[in-house]
Amino acid sequence: MSVLDDIVAGVREDLAARQSEVSVADLRAQLADAPAPRDPMPHFRRPGSSVIAEVKRRSPSKGDLADIPDPAALATEYAAGGAAAISVLTEQRRFGGSLNDLRAVRAAVDTPILRKDFIVGDYQLLEARAAGADLVLLMASVLGDDDLRRLFDVATELGLTSLVEVHDEAETERAVALGAELIGVNARNLKTLAVDNDTFGRLAPLVPSDRVLVAESGISGPTDVKRFVAEGARVVLVGEALVKDGAPREAVAAMTGVEA
């Protein structure tokens, strides 16, 4: 079993437990109190780099990254630094996150929020919207064609923007055929955890110019951002480098607006 398979198996177990506690009807009732979805795309299409700054406590590849007792305070710093969106990891077993983190961040900032998780069912999309998320991650490596299409359509119906993540040529072709407007290229292979920073440059030419490309993983500072922008990225998603930096506001600002 690969690392990704193990993560998804745990996600499904935790999802089943939550479904036994909160019904779909109750989740849909919560949508009435959720704020209207925020559209991140106009900001993402601006000249220069946009930053999705991530609230990330730990990862399968690096273990514990940062002690984040107050995700809302960190998100406030990200927003002050000019983050175009804030990613909140909600997977608990491997990443130490939760939907409570997302709710806390939503209460603290007006910035669009991405629910970063391993989405495998409609229920998680309802959870995301009820908690105040504006974007969700859909991973082509996790979802077959039918599930990817269904979840993409359900997310759209809920007003959520889908970040469709790819790792190789076949997944990129699937994301393009899906009609995804926002496509993330993850340099980390979640089956092996290895990072190949050449992945983005190899896959970017397969994506039409009217789509918005997000570079994910392997970004430690403005030099990396400049490289990915030169290769076609409009957005960079950064987690580890920001949570380990003692000045997250300044770190986000340094990665924002970078041009090739």
Q: Which residues are catalytic?
A: 54, 56, 116, 165, 186, 216-217
Q: How far apart are CA 183 and CA 176, in angstroms?
A: 8
User: Torsion over CA of 92, 96, 100 and 103, rounded to 10 degrees?
Assistant: -110
**Tokens 């998603």 map to which residue?**
237
Pairing mode of beta strands 161-166, 135-139: parallel
The C-alpha R_g of the chain, in whole angstroms, comes to 17
Distance separating alpha carbons of residues 102 and 77, to the nearest angstrom: 15
* Rounded Cα gap, residues 32 and 67, in angstroms: 34
- Check: CB of residue 252 under 8 Å from CB of residue 222: no
